[in-house]
Chains A and B, each alone.
Chain A
Amino acid sequence: MSDLDKEEVVRLAKLARLALTDAEVERLTPQLAQVVAHIDKINELDTDAVPATSHATGETLPLREDREGQSLPVQTALENAPAVEDGYVVVPRILAEH
């Protein structure tokens, strides 16, 4: 159904923020293409009249009371962060707005 070629793999990797070396692209592309070819099997089925199962439980969403609970102490919240300053998480400079 689709052609998962090297260009596509590079595009997808970028979308997923994964840097791939040329060697990796070489190696992974045929593996991925093979999996996609296998996945294409689902297109053998006629599913026009079939509803999609998007939620496994078949139940409805339970709601939570709007009551303040226990937040983490700041130190604990940031304990695992590689770079912290004055209670903020430090990240490489953000250039563009989102």
Chain B
Amino acid sequence: MSYRTVIGLEVHAQLSTATKAFCSCSTRFGDLPNRNTCPVCLGMPGALPVLNRNAVELAVRVAFALGCEVRKTSIFARKNYFYPDLPKGYQITQYDQPLAENGRLSAPLPDGSEVPVRIRRIHMEEDAGKNIHLPGGNESLVDFNRCGVPLVEIVTEPDISSPQVAAAYLKELRNVLRCLGACDGNMEQGSFRCDANVSVMCEDATALGTRTELKNINSFKFVQRGLEYEIQRQIGILEAGGSVVQETRLFDPRSGITHSMRGKEESHDYRYFPEPDLPPLVLDDAWQDAVRERRPVLPADYRKRLRDELGLPPYDVDVLSADKDVAEYSIAVLSHARDRKGASNWLMTEVLAVLNDRRIAIADFPVNAADVAGLVDLLASQKLSAPLAKEVFARMWQERRSLAECVASVGTQDSDERHLLAICRTVVENSPVEVGKYVAGKTQIIGWFVGQAMKETRGKGNPRILTRMFTELLDAGKSKQ
């Protein structure tokens, strides 16, 4: 019996506005508790919501980037339930007539292929406050700073067929949101949260299986692992002849398993109705067109440039388009460089290594793109040996000096054949044992000879020329014998 996996994803992304959805309190993360509150976001008697223009613009930008139809008229609704982090006793969200529907996002897989995932809907809503549970004791603490921060909820159709695709979709979505400036995608801080609905069905079945909901997954790693576990769990139940219970489960990263959330047996009756305090939101064609025109560059656009214009292979495209700023920098380097593959390699190995080691963003990387391109070309034209090139690069980013200065201080590769030949002859004369080994058939020892010559030239010798010269000298010597 083989099984098919069916996954749908819901992402809640915090919009990068300065102020909350319905009041002008700051959305700043990490402030002292309840520092950014007012009668509106505290749900005081008599307070009323007023919608943030920028939240709407960002939400619409997201909707367009995901290929959705934005409704001309959308309605806000109240979702009623009791919880301490929900001061009004209802959340302002959208139910019927949400902001946008019917889009799609192509999730790029590492092998270069893309999986299309349909977006069912995107709507706006407000975030709740934060509860802190004290260990032991009978109390919890509530901080309303986050209460009222604007969110978009992005819901897919159940088009996702594996945990791998799920992870790819989320990475791409996060990337898109970051490129749009709509959300900073910080999963640890909770600005990008994901819930997954997952079920399995027999390969030849027509009806979908019972699904469970996996909540509050806050890292990409956990998405994949959690889904993998849950899929196996469900298959296990079905193979044993049981049936999957529709429920909400939490993934525990330490144990690697999902467990059922207690106390959620009764399904909620949210009693949705149109929010009377907010008249319908009307976004006419002129407004929508203006937002469309202001569209920033998206990851798919970067990928296209790197792949089609700059001719990079899929793996390189994948690595260099993962981050918007890295993508822009890479495109700048590649546009200047003659050796594009060499430049790509240099970016992936040398530049990204520095960023990771130093934990800095590319925005803080002190070497400009033109200099990196120049360095790569020097290497390609053999004016610099690989070790020398690394030396120059190190000086450039550590000492914040230009390519020209660092090359000057390190000197270029020595390709002067007369000079090199003299050195080779000296090395050969002084190394009879090694010569003997070469003649006896150990031809790899050429590397040792080249190493000796490099020491003589303080790394500046052109290794290709040295190798050729030593080979000629030693072969000539061999034939003499």
Report which A residues bind B (CB closer than 8 A): 15, 17, 54-57, 59-72, 74, 77-78, 83, 85-98
Q: Report how far A66 CA is from B21 CA in the complex, Å.
A: 9
Cα–Cα, bound, A90→B143 (Å): 9
- Bound CA–CA A9/B23 (angstroms): 37
Write the nearest CB–CB distance from B354 to chain A, whole angstroms: 36
**Per a CB cutoff under 8 Å, which of A57, A74, A87, A93 touches B139?**
A93
Question: How long is the Cα–Cα vector from A15 to B267 in the complex, in angstroms?
Answer: 11
Contacts of A68 in B (CB 8 A): 18-19, 24-26
Contact in complex: A61, B142 (CB < 8 Å) = no
From B18, B33, B131, B278, give the contact of A67 (CB < 8 A).
B18
For window 71-95 of chain B, which residues contact chain A by CB distance below 8 Å? 75, 81-84
Known contacts A71-B37, A72-B37; A60/B280 CB under 8 A? yes
Known A-B contacts A71-B25, A96-B261; A66 and B54 likewise in contact (beta carbons under 8 Å): yes
28 A-B pairs, CB-CB below 8 angstroms? A15-B269, A54-B75, A55-B279, A55-B280, A61-B51, A64-B53, A65-B54, A66-B17, A66-B55, A69-B25, A70-B24, A71-B35, A71-B36, A71-B38, A72-B39, A74-B37, A83-B139, A85-B141, A87-B33, A89-B143, A90-B142, A91-B84, A91-B142, A92-B139, A94-B133, A95-B262, A95-B263, A97-B261
* B51 pairs with A63, CB closer than 8 A: yes
A70 to B23: give the CA distance in the assembly, Å: 10
Number of interface residues of B (CB under 8 A): 54
Instruction: Give CA–CA (A64, B262) in the complex, Å.
Output: 41
Residue of B nearest to A65 (CB): B53
Chain B residues in 8 Å Cβ range of A72: 37-39, 42
Q: In whole angstroms, how far apart are the Cα atoms of A88 and B263 in the complex?
A: 25
Q: Is the CB of A64 within 8 A of B140?
A: no
Q: Is the CB of A67 within 8 A of B24?
A: yes
Q: Report the nearest B residue to A63, measured CB to CB.
A: B53
Chain B residue contacts of A64, Cβ below 8 A: 24, 50-53
Docked CA distance A85–B177 (Å): 37
